[in-house]
């Protein structure tokens, strides 16, 4: 497979997983329903898959690829923690 195609496929995979995670975090509406559908369990799976991708491709990415993957993963992880804290706060108030 040509390197250019590998780059396209890698970027597509990162975008796909991150889009799913943003939706699962309740940060963007479901594209099919137009509704916010928050599911932190599913978000964690999507984020964990990106983390696994980062580990499996370690030392095998271009600088740009690595930067995009790490930036995307970090943003999602920070938002996941934020959503977990909000959920825990709601649970303690009830």
Domain count, the chain: 1
**What is the mean predicted confidence (pLDDT) over 2-9?**
76
pLDDT at 2 over 80: no
pLDDT at 4 over 90: no
Single pTM value for the model: 0.89
pLDDT at 1 over 80: no
> Which residues span the domain enclosing 62?
3-93
Measured CA to CA in angstroms, residue 90 lies from 59, 80, 84 at distances of: 41, 15, 10
- Measured CA to CA, the distance from residue 50 to residue 45 in angstroms comes to 9
Tokens found for residue 58 = 């370690």
């Amino acid at each position: 497979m040509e390197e250019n195609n590998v780059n396209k496929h890698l970027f597509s995979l990162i975008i796909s997983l991150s889009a799913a995670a943003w939706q699962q975090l309740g940060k963007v509406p479901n594209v099919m329903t137009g509704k916010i559908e928050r599911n932190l369990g599913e978000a964690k799976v999507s984020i964990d898959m990106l983390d696994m991708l980062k580990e499996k491709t370690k030392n095998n990415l271009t600088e740009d690829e690595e930067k995009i993957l790490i930036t995307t993963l970090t943003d999602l992880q920070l938002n996941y923690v934020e959503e977990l804290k909000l959920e825990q706060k709601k649970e303690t108030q009830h």
